[in-house]
């Protein structure tokens, strides 16, 4: 087992994904050594959990800018004065939650986000956890025969399949639907590691195949990639900040807190074209 030695205290959330980071205050810029270690931890563990962060919108954006380049979410307006921060809210009387299926964020874009950062503003007293699954570990667990088959496949991803919350922005016909074709197995631009890059929230079929022809393999992959051995679970509290790598993980926000309000502030970081 690899022992992490970083410029901060930390504890893995599972053997393959997730790291809780302790002792950092993100309301001020991180020094170069700490930032380099935080990025190394991010690439190794895919998901970082940093608790007790009382950040203003400007401070959240400043931290995001240290980790990458913030981007605009195409389907929802940002909070007043901060267009890169999208409020993710489930009200007490709502029964559906935002993105309530296993997915990697917006894989229907030509350049999907490299990472997503979520800062908890209000959470239910119990429930509302998020599950994460390592797609690097899921890929490595496949047989050599399946890896060889998937290596040549590309998949069509569509926002029409996604469970997104429509806002006033989505009244524009130009923002109604996005489609993108990406490799089924992508290579991480920072680490060189391979990871599965399909998900049940957005992936429709393989390029050059029908949905019916694609379904047997996709259905297998959708079940395979969310196995418990690839996952960790994050429990939220006010001020919990989580940043995850969309290039190497899936996530599932659990919808088990009806009657309670939950509000998160979300920033995505620009990514590259998957290869």
Ranges 2-11, 110-119, 144-153: which has the least confidence: 2-11
75 pLDDT band, cuts 50/70/90, is confident
Which is more confident, 258 or 73?
258
H-assigned helices in the chain: 32-45, 57-67, 135-140, 144-151, 211-224
Task: Measure the CA–CA gap between 195 and 184, rounded to whole angstroms.
Answer: 9
CA pair distance 27, 105, nearest whole angstrom: 26
Quick check: 67 and 43 in contact, CB under 8 A?
A: no
Average pLDDT over residues 23-45: 97
- Range 53-66 burial, b when 16+ CB lie within 10 A, else e: bebebebbbebbee
Yes or no: say if 101 and 131 are a contact pair by the CB < 8 Å rule: no
Asked if residue 3 belongs to a domain, the reply is: no
Residue 268 corresponds to which tokens in the numbers above? 């995505």
Determine the pLDDT at residue 3: 54
Which CATH number does the domain housing residue 66 bear?
3.60.130.10
Which residues, 6+ apart, have CB-to-CB distance to 132 below 8 Å? 17, 18, 46, 47, 231, 232, 233, 234, 244, 249, 250, 251, 252
Name the percent of the chain lying above pLDDT 70.
94
Q: Is residue 52 part of a domain?
A: yes
Question: Is 146 domain-assigned?
Answer: yes
Express each pLDDT in 153-168 by its tens digit.
999 999 998 754 333 3
pLDDT of res. 176: 67
The answer to whether the beta carbons of residues 13 and 20 sit under 8 Å apart is yes
Q: From its phi and psi, is residue 212 left (phi > 0), alpha (psi between -120 and 50) or beta?
A: alpha
124 falls within a domain: yes
Domain of residue 252, residue span: 9-269
Q: Name the 3-class secondary structure at 72.
A: coil
What's the pTM?
0.93
Q: Which residues are catalytic?
A: 103, 105, 251, 266
Going by pLDDT thresholds of 50, 70 and 90, the confidence category of residue 76 is confident
Please give the average per-residue pLDDT across 185-212, as a whole number: 97
Residues 261 and 264: their CA atoms lie apart, in Å, by 10
Residue 1 lies in a domain: no
Share of the chain above pLDDT 90, in %: 89
Report whether pLDDT(30) > 50.
Answer: yes
Report, as an integer, the average pLDDT of 227-243: 98
Question: Would residue 86 count as lying in a domain?
Answer: yes
**Contact in structure between 259 and 237 (CB atoms under 8 Å):** no
Average pLDDT, the chain: 93
Quote the number of domains for the chain.
1
User: How much is the pLDDT for 35?
Assistant: 97
Please state, as a whole number, how many other Cβ atoms lie within 10 Å of the Cβ of residue 102: 18
pLDDT at 72 over 50: yes
Sorted by sequence, the CB contacts under 8 Å of residue 95 that are 6+ apart come out as: 255, 258
Residue 246, pLDDT above cutoff 70: yes
Q: What is the dihedral of CA 92, 98, 102, 105, to 10 degrees?
A: -150
In angstroms, the CA 206 to CA 64 distance is 34
Centre a 10 Å sphere on the Cβ of residue 274 and count the other Cβ atoms it contains.
23
Lowest pLDDT segment from 32-41, 81-90, 154-163, 179-188: 154-163
**Residue 183 within a domain:** yes
Confidence band, pLDDT 50/70/90 cuts, at residue 131: very high
Within-domain flag for 97? yes
pLDDT in tens, 47-57: 999 999 999 99
pLDDT bucket at 170, cuts 50 / 70 / 90: very low
């Amino acid at each position: 087992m690899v022992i992490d030695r970083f410029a901060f205290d930390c504890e893995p959330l599972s053997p393959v994904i997730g790291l809780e980071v302790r002792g950092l205050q993100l309301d001020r810029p991180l020094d170069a050594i700490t930032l380099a270690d935080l990025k190394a931890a991010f690439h190794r563990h895919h998901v970082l959990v940093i608790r007790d962060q009382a950040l203003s919108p400007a401070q959240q954006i400043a931290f995001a800018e240290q980790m990458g380049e913030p981007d605009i979410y195409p389907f929802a307006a940002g909070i007043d004065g901060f267009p890169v921060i999208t409020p993710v809210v489930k009200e007490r009387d709502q029964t559906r939650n935002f993105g309530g299926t296993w997915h990697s964020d917006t894989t229907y874009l030509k350049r999907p986000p490299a990472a997503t950062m979520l800062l908890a503003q209000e959470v239910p007293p119990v429930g509302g956890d998020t599950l994460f699954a390592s797609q690097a570990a899921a890929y490595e667990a496949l047989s050599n025969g399946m890896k060889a088959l998937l290596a040549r496949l590309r998949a069509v991803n569509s926002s029409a399949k996604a469970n997104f919350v429509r806002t006033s922005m989505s009244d524009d016909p130009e923002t109604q639907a996005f489609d993108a074709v990406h490799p089924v197995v992508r290579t991480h631009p920072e680490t060189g590691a391979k990871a599965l890059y399909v998900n049940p929230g957005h992936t429709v079929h393989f390029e050059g195949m029908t949905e019916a022809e694609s379904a047997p393999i996709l259905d297998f992959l959708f079940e395979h990639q969310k196995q418990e051995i690839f996952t960790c679970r994050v429990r939220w509290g006010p001020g919990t900040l989580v940043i995850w790598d969309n290039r190497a993980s899936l996530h599932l926000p659990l919808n088990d807190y009806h009657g309670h309000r939950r509000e998160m502030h979300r920033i995505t970081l620009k990514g590259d074209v998957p290869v």
